[in-house]
Amino acid sequence: MKQTTHPPDHRSAGVRHGAATVAPPPGPGPKRRRPTSTQWAAWAFLAPVTLYLTLFYAYPLYRNLDLSLRNYTVRSFVQGDAPFTGLANYRKVFDDPTFAPALLHTAVFTAVCLVFQYAIGLALAVFFHQNFRLSATLRALFLVPWLLPLIVSASTWSWMLNSESGIVNAALHAIGIGPVNWLTSPSWALTSVITANIWIGVPFNLVVLYSGLQSIPTSLYEAAAIDGANAWQRFWRVTFPLLRPVSAITLLLGLIYTLKVFDIIWIMTKGGPADSSTTFATWSYQLGFGNLLPAFGPGAAVGNLLVVAALVFGLVYVRVQRKQSL
């Protein structure tokens, strides 16, 4: 066991090998070749992940950026000679009458979904944490929305909310309320897609927060109970603060999921009627693929705005994390 013990941090490994060749440590085996071979090994270990990152992250991102900076028509898309136009596509997107409503809908959709998903998820997690009989079964049932393919749940929702034959309007009718045009009225369409998305997002919050709850030691609750704290106080003084790190990551992941929600909205309303449920995600698709003559440039520009938004919130999260750990 006399040979060099490699330091745990691999970044410095390559640097130290130079020194190792000059003064080879005693030990059996061909000493000259070893450093080069480990160096090769280091590169080889790095290669798959680098290759993967370049192929599946860097290149698509670069292509998307490139698409958004050029003036693509169908002809230049195929021939690959689209002229570079700088920020013209972005300017076009910002000036579009759809921009302001889409921004507002994206913000409202994301914020409302996050708040309700988190609140309902937390309430359910605390509820299931009591471990009553059948709680495991019930909890499993709550996961169903998560397990269903999005196209199934979105189609079911749009069927339930149908103005003519939907079960929701039938139920409203039974209790004497007139029909609501859930999906076809500009004032209700956004509410309907938000409701459906909350339903889909609750299980995720439930699962993550439930596992967070389990990591809080019971002794803390016992101590609080002995000190005379009631259930409400125990929740706000013990559970909630100790859940903060888990809550932060749940909300961040939820935010990224919600920002890019496309399928539900597209299946239920196609972003309509009259753009009343258009978000950046559906607008980007609409521009790029929604009509017979695709506008790839502006579509990519809107997509990039979404990437930037997600990135900003990711950085905020990292920053908050760092502050907490200090």
Partner 1 sequence: MNSSSRQRRLTAAAITALAVAVTATACSSSSGSTDTKGAGSGTYTIWDPYPQFDKTSDWVKLLDQCGTKAGVKIKRTAFDTSDLGNKTLLAAQQGNSPDLLIVDNPVVSTLAEAGVLTTTDDNKLDTSKVDPNLLAAGQSGGKTYGTPIGANTLALYYNKKVLKEAGVDISSVKDWKSLTAALEKVKKAGKKGITFSAIGTEEGSFQFLPWFWGAGAKLTQLDSSQAVSALSLWKDWQKNGYAPNSVQNNTQTTSWQEFASGDYAFSENGTWQLANAKKAGFDYGVLPIPGTDGGNAAAPTGGEFVTIPVQQDTGRYATSQKLVTCLTSTDNLYNTDTTLSYVAPTSEVQDKQVAANADLKPWVDAVKAAEGRTSDDLGTKYPKISEQMWKAVQSALSGSKSPKDALTSAQAAAK
Footprint on this chain of partner 1 (rule: CB under 8 A) = 1, 3, 27-29, 34, 37-38, 40-41, 44-45, 47-48, 51, 55, 73-75, 77-80, 158, 162-165, 179, 181, 183-186, 269-276, 289-294
Q: Supply the minimum distance, in Å, between the C-beta of residue 75 and partner 1.
A: 5
* Residue from 295, 262, 282 nearest 103 by CA: 282
Helix axes 150-160, 189-214, angle to 10 degrees: 130
Compute the least distance from the CB of residue 141 to partner 1, in Å: 30
Q: Are 320 and 247 in contact (CB under 8 A)?
A: no
CB 201, CB 257: distance < 8 Å? yes
Both structure tokens of 202: 């609750």
Torsion of the alpha carbons at 148, 183, 304 and 56, rounded to the nearest 10: 20
Q: Are 309 and 219 in contact (CB under 8 A)?
A: no
Rg (CA), the chain: 27
Nearer to partner 1 among residue 145 and residue 294 (C-beta): 294
The residue among 81 and 322 lying less far from partner 1, judged by its C-beta, is 81
SS3 3: coil
For partner 1, which is the closer residue by CB, 127 or 275?
A: 275
CB of 32 to partner 1, least distance (A): 12
Name the maximum alpha-carbon separation found in the chain. 91
Instruction: Return all residues near 283 (Cβ < 8 A) that are at least 6 apart.
Output: 98, 102, 271, 302
**Overall size of the chain counted in residues:** 326
| Both tokens assigned to 56 | 């599946």
**C-beta closer to partner 1: residue 212 or 299:** 299
Residue 214 CB, shortest distance to partner 1, in Å, is 37
| Residue 298: CB minimum distance to partner 1, A | 13
- Closer CB to partner 1, residue 145 or residue 273? 273
Minimum Å distance from CB 145 to partner 1?
22
Nearest distance from C-beta of residue 179 to partner 1, angstroms: 8
Q: Select 96 or 143, whichever has its Cβ closest to partner 1.
A: 96
| Cα angle: 295, vertex 75, 291; to 5 degrees | 30
| Residue (54 or 215) nearer to partner 1, CB | 54
42 or 112: CB nearest partner 1: 42
Query: Closest separation between CB of residue 281 and partner 1, Å?
Result: 16
Torsional class of 7: left (φ above 0), alpha (ψ -120 to 50), beta (otherwise) = beta
